[in-house]
């Protein structure tokens, strides 16, 4: 376990971390950086136009680890090392005072590194240093993506504590590369992040909650493929691993792209490049354009459910349903509406049970939520 390595083995520790901790692998990191821009408002065209740049520099942070010994701890947080970690301190100085820098460093500093990167991005945008800002925005994408990979948020980062040794690379790199054609992003809208460190801890805690599911998927794939865990896994292993993990894996990658876009947007606002948004959603986040989409009710449903939403002004509105593969299933509303609250009924009699996304498009703003049809 990383936390038990003697301090005299620091160099060995860095070598081990560098060899296995690659977030979502090159494929996943490039996908997240590339697709973060799809959620941005049109006013951030200067960022949207850098989609290819963000993708091509998605791995810069990993590449620095071979020459910068301070880089590796920025890529993970073994949050479950700390007792009652859901309520652990968000202040890095306080944490270091409690455990010492060597131990804190050993367990990773991802959320604080992401905050530092966000601060740098904000300052660069404020002074108009666009070249530096694009590179920093790419690094921020890498750190955000790392924190959405469940195995970057646990002491059991390589399955070494549960008999799943090697799962880190199998899950994040080999599987994602094999099934990259099945990845997709549903366009969503950004939120202004008023409290970045708590925002980051929230998604790290969510990632940690998926660790057991990854291990169970590994066990299932081994059993179904007949692989005993030694040597090279057969192709069937990855098919079964994907079968068991694809729903939450796609969801984590979607969450990573939205979180990244929201942090880019937050830096943009804090740099003074647009006025702060004024509307506040039910979760306390600021919502551009003041358009609010509520969770459907009932959910899960069979066969009907109702969508409720609020429009700040008159405009063109559409509501579309997508399946887990990102295919459009139905358009249930597409016309102009007046300002105010509205409701639309959806009947799912003609579609099969499963997880679906519903997307509200209002002028240039979009919001997406999940729903489950159970028959």
* Residue 145 is assigned to a structural domain of this protein: yes
The residue among 83, 85, 84, 133 whose CA lies nearest residue 111 is: 85
Q: How many percent of the chain have pLDDT more than 70? A: 89
Distances (CA, A) of 40 to 53, 76, 197, 281: 16, 26, 21, 18
Tokens representing residue 186 in the block: 């549903």
Buried b (16+ CB within 10 A) or exposed e, 89-104: ebebeebeeeeeeeeb
The residue among 198, 250, 301 whose CA lies nearest residue 31 is: 250
pLDDT(284) > 70: no
pLDDT digit string, tens, across residues 209-267: 999 999 999 999 999 999 999 999 999 999 999 999 999 999 999 999 999 999 999 99
Average pLDDT over residues 147-169: 97
Does 178 share its domain with 324?
no
* Residue 276 is assigned to a structural domain of this protein: no
Burial of residue 60 (CB within 10 Å: 0-12, 13-18, 19+) is middle
- Domain end, chosen from 270, 300, 329, is at 270
* Residue 282 is assigned to a structural domain of this protein: no
Q: At which residue do the structure tokens 């506040």 appear?
A: 280
- Domain end, chosen from 235, 270, 305, is at 270
Does 108 share its domain with 233?
yes
The residue range of the domain holding 336 is 291-373
pLDDT digit string, tens, across residues 295-321: 888 888 899 998 988 888 888 999 999
pTM to 2 decimals?
Answer: 0.73
Backbone angles phi, psi at 192, to 5 degrees: -70, 130
Does 192 share its domain with 314?
no
pLDDT digit string, tens, across residues 252-279: 999 999 999 999 999 999 999 865 554 4
Per-residue pLDDT, 2: 39
* Residue 279 is assigned to a structural domain of this protein: no
Tokens representing residue 126 in the block: 């404020």
Domain count, the chain: 2
Does 247 share its domain with 368?
no
pLDDT(19) > 70: no
Does 258 share its domain with 354?
no
Angle between helices 196-208 and 130-147 (to 10 degrees): 40
* Residue 277 is assigned to a structural domain of this protein: no
Per-residue pLDDT, 290: 62
Does 257 share its domain with 296?
no
Does 245 share its domain with 115?
yes
CATH classification of the domain holding 136: 1.10.575.10
Per-residue pLDDT, 12: 35
Is-contact 78 223, C-beta < 8 A? no
Does 178 share its domain with 298?
no
SS3 assignment, position 316: strand
* Residue 286 is assigned to a structural domain of this protein: no
* Residue 223 is assigned to a structural domain of this protein: yes
> What totals of helices (H) and strands (E) does the chain contain, helices first?
14, 7
pLDDT(67) > 60: yes
Output the CA torsion sign for 78, 157, 153, 111: positive
Does 239 share its domain with 134?
yes
Does 38 share its domain with 167?
yes
pLDDT(288) > 70: no
Does 247 share its domain with 356?
no
* Model confidence band, residue 175 (pLDDT cutoffs 50, 70, 90): very high
* Residue 90 is assigned to a structural domain of this protein: yes
CATH classification of the domain holding 319: 2.60.40.1930
pLDDT(7) > 80: no
How many Å apart are CA 17 and CA 65, to the nearest integer?
10
DSSP summary character for residue 189: -
Average pLDDT over residues 281-286: 42
Does 262 share its domain with 296?
no
Q: At which residue do the structure tokens 């700390």 appear?
A: 82
Q: How many percent of the chain have pLDDT more than 90? A: 70
């Amino acid at each position: 376990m990383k936390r038990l390595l003697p301090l005299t083995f620091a160099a060995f520790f860095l070598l081990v971390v560098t060899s296995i901790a690659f977030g979502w692998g090159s494929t996943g990191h490039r996908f997240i950086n590339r697709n973060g821009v799809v959620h941005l408002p049109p006013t951030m065209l200067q960022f949207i136009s850098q989609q290819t740049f963000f993708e091509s520099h998605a791995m810069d942070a990993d590449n620095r680890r071979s020459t910068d010994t301070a880089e590796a701890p920025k890529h993970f947080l073994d949050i479950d090392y700390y007792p009652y970690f859901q309520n652990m301190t968000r202040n890095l100085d306080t944490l270091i005072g409690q455990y010492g820098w060597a131990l804190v460093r050993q367990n990773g500093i991802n959320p604080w590194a992401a905050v530092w990167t966000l601060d740098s991005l904000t300052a660069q945008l404020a002074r108009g240093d666009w070249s530096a800002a694009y590179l920093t925005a790419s690094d921020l994408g890498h750190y955000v993506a790392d924190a959405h990979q469940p195995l970057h948020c646990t002491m059991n980062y390589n399955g070494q504590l549960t008999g799943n040794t090697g799962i880190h690379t199998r899950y994040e790199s080999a599987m994602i590369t094999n099934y990259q054609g099945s990845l997709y992003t549903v366009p969503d809208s950004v939120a202004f992040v008023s409290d970045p460190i708590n925002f980051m801890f929230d998604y790290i805690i969510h990632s940690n909650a998926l660790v057991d599911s990854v291990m169970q998927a590994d066990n299932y794939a081994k059993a179904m493929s007949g692989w005993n865990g030694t040597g090279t896994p057969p192709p069937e292993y990855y098919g079964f691993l994907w079968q068991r993990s694809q729903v939450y894996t796609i969801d984590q990658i979607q969450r990573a792209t939205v979180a990244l876009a929201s942090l880019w947007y937050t830096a943009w606002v804090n740099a003074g490049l647009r006025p702060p948004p004024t509307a506040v959603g039910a979760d306390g986040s600021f919502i551009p354009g003041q358009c609010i989409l509520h969770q459907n009710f009932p959910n899960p449903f069979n066969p009907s459910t109702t969508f409720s939403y609020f429009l700040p002004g008159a405009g063109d509105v559409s509501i579309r349903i997508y399946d887990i593969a990102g295919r459009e299933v139905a358009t249930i509303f597409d016309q102009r509406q007046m300002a105010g609250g509205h409701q639309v009924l959806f009947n799912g009699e003609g579609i099969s049970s499963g997880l679906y996304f519903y997307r509200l498009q209002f002028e240039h703003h979009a919001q997406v939520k999940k729903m489950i049809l159970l028959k």
